[in-house]
Amino acid sequence: MAAASTHPHATAEELHRASRGAIPDLALATTHMIVNDLTSSGLLRRLEVPHSASRYEPDLGDNHHHAQCVRCGRLEDVACAVGHAPCLTPTDTHGMNILVAEVLYRGICAACAAEDRTSDAPTTPEVEEHSHG
């Protein structure tokens, strides 16, 4: 789907809107099926980010990571954290051959931080913490 290349980190609904110019009769349900098929075939990568619908990008096979602003939701690519893919080596693989390590950095983007400085908004975000165990 060409829309995924020109609209990285888009939701299925955003990809649908972007595709309607070229395919006016495209149904949203069809877009969802296409996105699922492209994800299953390894052509798209599904990104699960907190407080957002699934997002999609072309699967480049580079195992890059992402940074998300907790205020505006902006999502940006971040190069591999350390070393070669899968970038991070777990202390215990539980017998699994690890193929991918997904990292999501969460913080405040420069635009939101600048807005905070010019308003009465708190400087510390209300970020929901999740324990991983």
Over residues 25-43, the pLDDT tens digits come to: 999 999 999 999 999 999 9
Q: Provide the CATH number for the domain formed by 61-123 in this structure.
A: 3.30.1490
Residue ranges for the known binding site for Zn(2+) are 69, 72, 109, 112
Q: What's the rounded Cα separation, in Å, for the pair 58 and 84?
A: 20
Residue ranges for the known binding site are 69, 72, 109, 112
The residue extents of the domains of the chain are: 1-59, 61-123
Residue 125: pLDDT over 80: no
Over residues 109-123, the pLDDT tens digits come to: 999 999 888 876 554
Q: What's the rounded Cα separation, in Å, for the pair 86 and 102?
A: 8
pLDDT band at 100 (very low <50, low <70, confident <90, very high): confident
Q: Considering the chain, what percentage of its residues have pLDDT values greater than 90?
A: 44
Going from the C-alpha of 90 to that of each of 48, 54, 78, the distances in angstroms are: 21, 26, 20
Same fold, 1-59 and 61-123: no
More confident of the two residues 125 and 116 = 116
1-59 sits in which CATH class? mainly alpha
